[in-house]
Amino acid sequence: MIPASFDYVRVGSADEAIGLLSEHGEDAKLLAGGHSLLPLMKLRLAQPSLLVDIGPLREFSYVTDEEDYLAVGALTRHHDIAVSPLTLSSVPLLAHVAGQIGDPQVRHRGTIGGSICHGDPASDLPAVLLALGATFVARGPNGQREIDAKDFFVSFFEVALKPDELLVEIRVPRPSDARWGFEKLTKRAQDWAIVGAVAVRSASGVGVGLINMGPVPLRSGAVEAAVLSGANAAEAAQFAAEGTEPSADFNGSVAYRQHVARVLVRRALEKAGV
């Protein structure tokens, strides 16, 4: 529970952070809320030689209404998203999910950008942002680029950011007529989901996301296709395990997780009005 030694820089600007990342490459790690990275460092599972603390960059903590989307700064804390009037009115699903992450301490420290960049398939936000069809904005030495959420989660704890890139904003579409459902099975309120499911239904389509059902957060194309072809919630949910590769541990076998995925997808779809 004592990390290995490391250097620490508290940066004053995004450019400074990007510069340090360019200079140190894989040896440097960005520190935002610290709720994923610090436990790994304390267990010495992660031993970065440089911590680049981007906490002071409060300019990346915001929720604003843009023309086509809700913009969320990467350093916005879960709690702030959960209680933001803008999130509550235009993407209430996001507010609801942010308000259920971990426990109050986690929600007051953890950031949306940190959660996404960590790429944990058991985290709630990545699957929800997949289902919402969000876009992520990354900034590097040569400027900004947009990455579609569906291209972001590459493999187990690996995302599409380059070593010298910083996630700065999350853009969330906000169809005005969306209905949604979010279901997660946990042993304790603060736990990562054993399995979670999210469904968003609007005139512009349907999005179904799965939490902890494979090495990366998933979007369930099979369920979405079934819904679009007219299946009801129960019928569509039968496809929920398709293409999933959940791990087995003492909280659930593969078969159990796939069963629960079908149950939770059905419930989420029902809440979303499918």
Partner 1 sequence: MSILGNRVLRREDPKFLTVGGTYVDDLALPGSVHVTFVRSSMAHARIVSVDSTNVQAMPGVIAVYTNDDLGLAKFPTVMGMTNEAMAPSMLASGTVRYVGEPIAAIVAESREIAEDALEQVVVEYDPLNVVIDPVRARTDEDLLFPDAGTNTSFSLDFGGDETLFDDCDVVVELELVNQRVAPCPLEVRSAAAHMSEDGRLEFNSSTQAPHGVRDALATFLGLEPDQVHVVTPDVGGGFGAKAAVYPEDIVVGWCALKLGRSVRWTETRSESMLGLGHGRAQVQHVRIGGTREGVVQAYRIEVLQDSGAYAGFGTVLPFMTRVMTSGPYKIPKAECASVSVVTNSTPTTAYRGAGRPEATAAIERIMDVFAREIEMDPAELRRRNLIGKDDFPYTTPVETLYDVGDYHRALDLALEVAGYDELRAEQARRRAAGDVRQLGIGLSCYVEITNGLPDGEFGAVEVRPDGKVIVRTGTSPHGQGHVTAWSMLVAEQLGVAIEDIEVVHGDTDIVPRGAGTMGSRSLQIGGAAVNQAAVDVVEKAKDLAAGLLEADREDIVLNKAKGNFHVVGTPAVSRSWAELAAAAAKDGNPLFAEVDLASPGPTFPFGTHISVVEVDTETGKVNLLRHIAVDDAGRIISPLLAEGQVHGGIAQGVAQALLEEVVYDLEGNPLTSTLADYSFISAAELPSYETRFTETPTPVNALGAKGIGESGTIGSTPAVHNAVCDAVAHLGVRHIDMPTTPIRVWNAINDAATGDGSAKGGR
Residues in contact with partner 1 by CB under 8 A are 1-2, 4-5, 39, 43-44, 103, 185, 187-192, 194, 249-253, 256, 259-260, 263-264
Phi/psi at 223 (5° precision): -65, -45
**What are the counts of helices (DSSP H) followed by strands (DSSP E) for the chain?**
12, 14
Please identify, using beta-carbon distances, which residue of 44 and 162 lies nearer to partner 1: 44
Please identify, using beta-carbon distances, which residue of 17 and 261 lies nearer to partner 1: 261
Closest separation in Å from C-beta 230 to partner 1:
24
Closest separation in Å from C-beta 103 to partner 1:
7
Helix (H, G, I), strand (E, B) or coil at 138: strand
Closest separation in Å from C-beta 234 to partner 1:
12
Residues whose CB is less than 8 angstroms from the CB of residue 198 and which lie 6 or more positions away in sequence, other chains included = 93, 97, 127, 128, 131, 180, 181, 182, 183, 207, 208, 209, 210, 211, 268
Closest separation in Å from C-beta 106 to partner 1:
11
Alpha carbon 246 to its chain centroid, in Å, reads 17
Please identify, using beta-carbon distances, which residue of 225 and 254 lies nearer to partner 1: 254
Q: Could you tell me where the DSSP H helices lie in 148-251? A: 149-152, 221-228, 233-237
Closest separation in Å from C-beta 33 to partner 1:
16
Positive or negative, the Cα torsion across 233, 178, 204, 154? negative
Please identify, using beta-carbon distances, which residue of 4 and 154 lies nearer to partner 1: 4
Distance CA 102, CA 166 (A): 24
Please identify, using beta-carbon distances, which residue of 26 and 249 lies nearer to partner 1: 249
Closest separation in Å from C-beta 4 to partner 1:
7
Please identify, using beta-carbon distances, which residue of 68 and 249 lies nearer to partner 1: 249
